[in-house]
Structure 1
Amino acid sequence: MEFLTLTKWWVVPVIWLPVVCWLFAKSVQMGHTVREVVLMALFGVFVWTLIEYTLHRFLFHIETNSYWSNTAHYLIHGCHHKHPMDSLRLVFPPAGTAILCVPFWNIVASFATPSTTPALFGGGLLGYVMYDCTHYYLHHGQPSKDPAKYLKRYHLNHHFRIQDKGFGITSSLWDAIFGTLPSSKIAAKHNGLS
């Protein structure tokens, strides 16, 4: 089953960005202005950052103690920590994303109107695409300027120094809010500042 975890980074935007555009167009067709759709999309991206943090902290780093739970954990995230520079293990496979889209769509649809659901969900899906592309870039890109340079240090600190802190990928916002920021002394040492 391990081969199902292998995905080239560019597959994510190629598959999901057309879906995002279609979702935004659907809300416009249902009567919303472009400005309203942009605001709903931004809200969806913001909510995605919380989902990103929550999944990474509580699912991807769950403690396991049986053969099947260890195997499932390895396939979901453990293989990425074991092989952090493997370019085929840095983004989530589209089939898995498609499966997860169903419950997330239903959650959004349960509190949003039929005309706002596509834009809100599309914003969350756009946040996911940005997250996966950012994650790939943080491992294989060579950013020379902040914020990308900071995010790369922040994420590699999570991989190689403090795996129980720094769960945000696209932002350290939720780590700051929920108390999982790496201590400034450790981060400074890792970044060569002390």
Structure 2
Amino acid sequence: MKQVSSSAKPGIWKRSHYLDRMTLKDLWIAYFQYPAIIAYIGLAIASIVTWFAYPASLLQTVAAAGVVVVLYPLVWYCLHRWVLHSNWMFKVPFLASTWKRIHYDHHQDPNHLEVLFGALHTTLPTIAGVSIPVGYAIGGIGGAAAALAAGLITTCVYEFVHCIQHLAYKPKSKVIAEMKKRHMAHHFHDENGNYGITSYLWDRVLGTFYDRPERPKKSPTVFNLGYTEEVAVRYPWVKTLSGGIVATGHPRKRGDTQNADREAA
């Protein structure tokens, strides 16, 4: 594996970064240089400017933003459980690359920072599709602008918390530490549960919340989401895009075995 420096400098995104090798300071610097985060912040500012041009009432503005913030955990839960952890996207040739980018690669190596951030071509339509209609129904153009700004800012918060959960750092906040515990179980023990990131309310409501002692056996598909060598025989597109291999085991323990598999392929 290519050696990666953890120091954050200008042009940081010209090389790969791994959260288990970064400090909190490195993360802060990298976070605000990442193109998707810059795009979210820029669009949030543009939405606020739009609100000033077409203002909604205070009540409409608060309601539009509030509804989006409340909806966000439910929307994320549904997408995470029934889309990102689906077993149908990799079966469709033109969706295989999207599934690989938006979630398979993240589970293959949960600490790889570039693939932890959502891809703009998938996140922006989702944010806009959820927030703008709700905001417009509440307060017209101004309400839509307020809702979109709330959705973008909430996404920025979500992305940073998600980064913290994978960083080699013990959060001082007990709340965030508990979030990290649940998310680490999702990535390194059993992917079939703990789908929330900043809230596990819907995991509790829908029966997917768990503590590791409740599931003593580790999931064999925690790093490949069920996309195994056997599955790849019939649906080869993700394997082809992954250099001809389906990685198994902990990402930091693959080493020469995966290189040998790639050479054999």
Q: Is the 8 A contact 1:47 1:124 kept in 2?
A: no
**1:148-189: CA deviations, max 9, x gaps?**
11111110011111211000011111111222111574389x
The aligned amino acid for 2:186 is H
Whole-Å separation in 1 of the counterparts to 2:180 and 2:132: 34
**1:25-83: CA deviations, max 9, x gaps?**
43344333567534532322221221111111111000136362554422221110011
The aligned amino acid for 2:67 is F
Classify 1:13/1:76 alpha carbon distance in 2 versus 1 (closer, same or farther; 3 Å).
closer
**Structure 1 alignment gaps of length 5 or more:** 1-5
Structure 1 residue aligned with 2:104: 78
Is the counterpart of residue 154 in structure 1 residue 178 in structure 2?
no
Could you tell me how far 1:117 is from its partner in structure 2?
Answer: 1.1
Whole-Å separation in 2 of the counterparts to 1:141 and 1:172: 22
Structure 2 residue aligned with 1:52: 76
Structure 2 residue aligned with 1:89: 115
- TM-score norm. by structure 1 comes to 0.78
Classify 1:106/1:40 alpha carbon distance in 2 versus 1 (closer, same or farther; 3 Å).
closer
Whole-Å separation in 1 of the counterparts to 2:125 and 2:58: 29
Is the counterpart of residue 37 in structure 1 residue 76 in structure 2?
no
Q: Is the 8 A contact 1:60 1:73 kept in 2?
A: yes
Which range moved further: 52-61 or 93-102?
93-102
Whole-Å separation in 2 of the counterparts to 1:187 and 1:13: 36
Which range moved further: 86-95 or 63-72?
63-72
Superposition CA RMSD, Å: 3.1
Match of 1:139 among 166, 172, 180: 166
Whole-Å separation in 2 of the counterparts to 1:18 and 1:176: 35
- After the TM superposition, which residues 1-194 of structure 1 pair with which residues of structure 2 at under 5 Å, given as runs? 9-10=31-32, 11=34, 12-32=36-56, 37-64=61-88, 66=91, 68=93, 70-101=96-127, 103-104=129-130, 107-108=133-134, 111-112=137-138, 113-140=140-167, 142=169, 143-183=171-211, 185-186=213-214
**Structure 2 alignment gaps of length 5 or more:** 1-15, 18-29, 219-265
Q: Is the 8 A contact 1:45 1:125 kept in 2?
A: no
Whole-Å separation in 1 of the counterparts to 2:98 and 2:57: 43
Whole-Å separation in 2 of the counterparts to 1:164 and 1:71: 22
Classify 1:35/1:110 alpha carbon distance in 2 versus 1 (closer, same or farther; 3 Å).
closer
